């Protein structure tokens, strides 16, 4: 009888601890996104957008490969609802990314160019 009580109490606490984690919502704006700026004068440009959050403030990095490595310097990142706005400088050119996040999909624009991409799952 005592073993059954211990078993059921342990089971109860296990279920309660799982319920705590289930109630925590993951911030869908945080993460790495594999994005492509489409049909630029240089062709389609693949980039990585890495969005983080510390002390209730969002920040981001834009990571390019090859000739674009280290080119992007982000000056601001704003997030509201399911939208991310990133202002950056690339070799003296001011760029604004306006992006919408829908679960694992990201789309929007960078100036007059279309941007599409997906979340990178790690």
List, in order, residues 6 or more apart from 44 with CB less than 8 Å away. Answer: 36, 37, 38
Where in the chain are the domains? 31-119
83 neighbors 66 (Cβ within 8 angstroms):
no
Rounded to two decimals, the pTM is 0.76
Sign of CA dihedral 9, 14, 15, 20: positive
pLDDT class of 23 with cuts at 50, 70, 90: very low
pLDDT class of 108 with cuts at 50, 70, 90: very high
Tokens for 70, please give them. 């280290």
35-44 pLDDT per residue, tens: 999 999 989 9
From its phi and psi, is residue 20 left (phi > 0), alpha (psi between -120 and 50) or beta? alpha
Mean pLDDT of the chain: 85
Report the DSSP beta bridge partners of residue 98. 85, 109
The whole-angstrom separation of Cα 35 and Cα 108 is 10
Long-range contacts of 51-56 (CB under 8 A, 24+ apart): 51/77, 51/79, 51/84, 53/27, 53/29
65-91 pLDDT per residue, tens: 888 888 899 999 999 888 999 999 998
In this structure, CATH architecture of domain 31-119: Beta Barrel (2.40)
pLDDT over 90 at 49, yes or no: yes
List, in order, residues 6 or more apart from 104 with CB less than 8 Å away. Answer: 118, 119, 121
């Amino acid at each position: 009888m005592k073993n059954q009580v211990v078993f059921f109490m342990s089971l109860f606490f296990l279920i309660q601890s799982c319920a705590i984690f289930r109630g925590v919502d993951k911030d869908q704006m945080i993460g790495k996104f594999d994005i492509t700026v489409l049909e630029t004068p240089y062709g389609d440009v693949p980039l990585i957008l890495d969005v983080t959050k510390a002390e209730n403030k969002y920040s981001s990095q834009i990571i390019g490969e090859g000739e674009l490595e280290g080119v992007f310097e982000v000056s601001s990142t704003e997030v509201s609802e399911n939208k991310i706005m990133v202002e950056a400088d690339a070799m003296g050119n001011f760029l604004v990314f306006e992006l919408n996040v829908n679960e694992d999909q990201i789309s929007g624009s960078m100036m007059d160019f279309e941007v599409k991409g997906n979340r990178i799952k790690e």
